[in-house]
Amino acid sequence: MDEQIKQSVLTELKQILSDRVSIDETVLQEHGTGFSYHQSSPPDFVVFPHTTEEIASIVNICANHQIAIIPFGAGTSVEGHILAVQGGVCIDLKEMNKVLQLDLEDMCASIQAGITRNQLDALLEGTGFFFPVGPGANATIGGMAATRASGTNAVRYGTMKDNVLSLTVVLPGGQIIKTASKAKKSSSGYNLTQLFIGSEGTLGIISELTIKLHPYPELSQAAVCSFPSIESAIHTAMKTIQQGIAVARIEFLDAITMRAINQYSHTDYREEPTLFLEFNGSAQLVKEQVQRVEHLAQEFGAQGFVWEMDEASRKKLWRIRTDAAPAIAALSPGAQMMSTDVCVPISQLAKCIVETQAEIEKTGLLAAILGHVGDGNFHLGIPIHRDDKNTLEKAKGINERLVKRALAMDGTCSGEHGIGIGKLSYMSLEHGQALEVMRAIKHAIDPKNIMNPGKLLPE
């Protein structure tokens, strides 16, 4: 950025935010590095607004100078969403972490976008309600909306697209809009809520959300069981879904993931293909579901069922699952993670995973397989050292062939992580002519291309 422009932008930002503008090298560097193997790319400024109106003022400054704006939540993106590839102003929403209205009668809450999952969980404790979308990382709810995130609960409760009633968005021209009312359903106009969910900051900045809350189930029960093969575990998951059993979670972890977990979390699970399961509902319903799934799993040779009945051990189990990503990375000390993210129709899942595993074995790459198999979504966790070009190239090759395999099965290159810069090269292959519609929308809403440029849409 031109030094003179930089100076005037800094002056203007400080007029609004006083000391909540940073040009500290460490801060800039932190904000230009995601949770992944991508090369870092710092912004010129990091700002910490407190209100939607402050965001609008920041956007106006950037729009006047035509400089890039990068919205930043917790920085847990794995696809380079927050890299400032053209420099510019990073808007860190971490200080916008308040619950604005808790409305239990309507089972929803209005929140600022910078609140994290863990902060929200803590604030909801004791209300009898919870927010069900839980990716592995302690992401912000705004960031999760921006990437259309999901996680282990999605098989039962849906993804961010299913759990947001409305958004407050600051547009690239500084206007503030609300995308919908608090009504549970509406046929009034284009669905702007869903347009901004998953738009990765390329159309505007999500500053506030009204999210749906769910009543805690009467009972939750979790289980771990291991299988003689990947196929048998996956077929158990497929049959569970196809029989309409409303499991709350059904997670696959391969033998490598189980080894990583045992080392990282000091557990002693069997190091075999494994399912982590959860059942929610009334005592009677949970009992029925458990019986049906246990029966199915045993038909596929499952062994060593461990039931986690009490709240503490159930929570521990899911923390262990959440820690699977760092556990896999720790298999190769000092490594970053590359995480693939395809999602395929459930009928194709076993085939997709088995073919992928055969290829991994052929290349000799260290890659763990795990995923939200009830949704047909799975990840390869590949530890990567940024300077190890050889492994990086191998991993990229596996990812590319995996994406092509998934697309050929009528699946998608990203089930929940988004495009960022990491998956740009697959957008044309996945969407064909529909990509032109996305480009037309981007151009209509952000004609100056200042909103998170270089992300989601390939040049």
Sign of CA dihedral 153, 157, 159, 163: negative
Among 98, 396, 438, 448, binds a copy of itself (CB under 8 A): 438
Residue 14 vs 214, nearer CB to a copy of itself:
214
178-237 residues in contact with a copy of itself (CB under 8 A) are 178-192, 194-195, 197-199, 203, 214-215
- Give me the residues paired with residue 206 across strands: 169
Q: How far apart are CA 21 and CA 61, in angstroms?
A: 13
Relative orientation angle of helices 283-299 and 230-242, to the nearest 10 degrees: 140
Tell me how far CA of residue 230 lies from CA of 32, 154, 224, in angstroms: 38, 22, 15
87-146 residues in contact with a copy of itself (CB under 8 A) are 103, 105-108
Binding mask 417-436 for a copy of itself (x = CB under 8 A): xxx---x--xx--xxxxxxx
Q: How far apart are CA 259 and CA 277, in angstroms?
A: 19
Among 139, 445, 450, 451, binds a copy of itself (CB under 8 A): 445
Q: Which segment (52-60, 222-230, 360-368, 371-379) binds a copy of itself by CB under 8 A?
A: 371-379
Tell me if 56 contacts a copy of itself by CB under 8 A. Answer: no
Tell me if 271 contacts a copy of itself by CB under 8 A. Answer: no
Nearest to 294 by CA among 284, 282, 281, 307: 307
Strand order in the sheet with 99-103: 99-103, 108-112, 205-212, 164-170, 176-178
| Residue 280 and residue 249 in contact, taking contact as beta carbons nearer than 8 Å | no
DSSP-derived letter for residue 143 is: H
Residue 22 vs 412, nearer CB to a copy of itself:
412
278-337 residues in contact with a copy of itself (CB under 8 A) are 282, 284-285, 288
Strands (E), 20-138: 21-22, 45-47, 69-72, 89-92, 99-103, 108-112, 129-130
* No. of helices (H) and no. of strands (E), the chain: 16, 18
Among 300, 375, 378, 451, binds a copy of itself (CB under 8 A): 375
Give me the least distance between CB of 274 and a copy of itself, in Å please.
22
Give me the least distance between CB of 130 and a copy of itself, in Å please.
12
Residue 43 vs 75, nearer CB to a copy of itself:
75
Among 376, 383, 453, 454, binds a copy of itself (CB under 8 A): 376
Residue 270 vs 292, nearer CB to a copy of itself:
292
137 contact partners, CB below 8 Å, separation of at least 6: 35, 74, 76, 325
Give me the least distance between CB of 266 and a copy of itself, in Å please.
33
Among 8, 15, 64, 175, binds a copy of itself (CB under 8 A): 175
| Residue 56 and residue 172 in contact, taking contact as beta carbons nearer than 8 Å | no
Nearest to 435 by CA among 417, 456, 418: 456
393-412 residues in contact with a copy of itself (CB under 8 A) are 406-407, 410-412
Give me the least distance between CB of 108 and a copy of itself, in Å please.
8
Q: Exposed, middle or buried by CB within 10 Å (0-12, 13-18, 19+), for 80?
A: buried
Give me the least distance between CB of 346 and a copy of itself, in Å please.
6
Residue 2 vs 410, nearer CB to a copy of itself:
410
Kindly determine how many residues on this chain lie close enough to bind a copy of itself according to the rule CB under 8 A.
Answer: 87
Give me the least distance between CB of 21 and a copy of itself, in Å please.
27
Give me the least distance between CB of 410 and a copy of itself, in Å please.
4
Q: Where are the alpha helices (DSSP H) in 266-409?
A: 283-299, 311-322, 324-329, 349-363, 389-408
Tell me if 440 contacts a copy of itself by CB under 8 A. Answer: yes
Give me the least distance between CB of 105 and a copy of itself, in Å please.
4
